[in-house]
Amino acid sequence: MATDILQAPGLRNDYYSNLVSWSSKTNRVAVGLGSKAYLWGIDNKVVSVNYENTNDTSQETDDNTEVVTAISCSGEYWILVATAGGKILLIDQKENEVVAEYLTTDKKCVYCIIWFPNSMNFIAGDDFGEVYFFKVVEQDGIHLVLEKNFKCHQQHICGLALNNTYDELAVGANDNCCTIWDIQDIYRPELKFILPHNAAIKALSYCPWTPSLLATGGGSKDRKIRFWHTATGTLLNEYYTDGQITSLKWSHYKKEIVATFGFGGGRGHRRIRNRNDNHTNNNNNHQSTLLCVYSYPQMIPVVEVTAAYNLRILSSTMSPDHCSICVATNDSTIRIYRLWEKSIEVCANYDSSRKIGDYGSSLIELVEGITKASGPIR
């Protein structure tokens, strides 16, 4: 059951948009609703983000150009808001005002944004298959400086992910592929591999305890979670689900991964379980699976959240402590679910996973320098 629910009228029912982001500095969730952005606190107070329509009023504009398509909080006080008209706005949470703005070439629309840990660099993906590397420059004011942009895909960029050493980028797109890029030199990104699915790829997540393990999730014509060794491009395993996969997030405390679902999540085929429940509930013919936590690498469901059949999750964000997930759903609500408890060590949840290891291949584990899979991962 959700621990908190926010009514969010104006929330776009759009698979491609990313409209929730959890700030680690203020512990507030930034939400894009229509052409506005808001901050939702754990005290249930909602604050409107103050930014003005900066369009040239001398020309006619379509109101849809101001619709928020992506929102992303840095590790500091910055919030980025992207609009359908090609704007990227940098907002200071402390002052609640826009401090910098960038307009993409030909007003290309940005739908996904990720920050580097330094909170000064970020990556954005647009609806024409291009990726942009930006830097926040604080010199004679604050500016968004484009450092590099390049064509990654032929269609809409749906998802972005960085590995835990921040030298490798995964890009998912509407052309049913995920590309892996070496970005040690951002001015000369190198394509390493093209990883296929049978539908758009929005859900991307690198494992937090190893830099070369990537999980990808396919859209409604694919419905598979695939695990890849990105150093070699090897498909390690795949798991069929009943729904469109809209996001994937690894646990920082257990060998587990959570998947959120859009169209077709459930249909009564999957077991309804939680950590303290060993029985199967088959009375779910009119329910949809919103999200499911799986053990890794066995992919055994350990927690499952169901709801009305037509409800689906559009996008998600993790809490700063990595214990809770916040999701945007198509019934115009924002919901928070607590999935894990904070612990000191990330460890295997099942004895068998110690035998299988992280990659399921002794050869690949040798490549990774793993000689024995045992004990906690620090």
Domain locations along the chain: 17-52+62-155
Alpha-carbon span 130 to 116, nearest angstrom: 18
Segment 210-228 mean pLDDT: 96
The DSSP code for 155 is: S
Specify the length of the chain in residues.
378
Alpha-carbon span 250 to 205, nearest angstrom: 7
Q: Which residue has the higher pLDDT, 165 or 286?
A: 165
To the nearest whole percent, how much of the chain has pLDDT over 70? 84
Alpha-carbon span 296 to 209, nearest angstrom: 13
Cβ atoms of 206 and 183 closer than 8 Å: no
Cβ atoms of 146 and 134 closer than 8 Å: yes
Site of tokens 């790829």: 201
pLDDT exceeds cutoff 90 at 285: no
pLDDT at residue 52, rounded to an integer? 67
pLDDT exceeds cutoff 70 at 15: yes
Q: Which residue has the higher pLDDT, 160 or 368?
A: 160
pLDDT exceeds cutoff 90 at 182: yes
Cβ atoms of 34 and 26 closer than 8 Å: no
Region 17-52+62-155: CATH code: 2.130.10.10
Cβ atoms of 248 and 293 closer than 8 Å: no
Sign of torsion over alpha carbons 102, 105, 108, 114 = negative
Range with lowest mean pLDDT among 42-46, 108-112, 220-224: 42-46
Q: What is the pLDDT of residues 138-177, one digit of tens each?
A: 999 999 999 999 999 999 999 999 999 999 999 999 999 9
pTM of this prediction? 0.88
| Closest CA relative to residue 306, chosen from 266, 350, 345, 346 | 266
Segment 252-261 mean pLDDT: 96
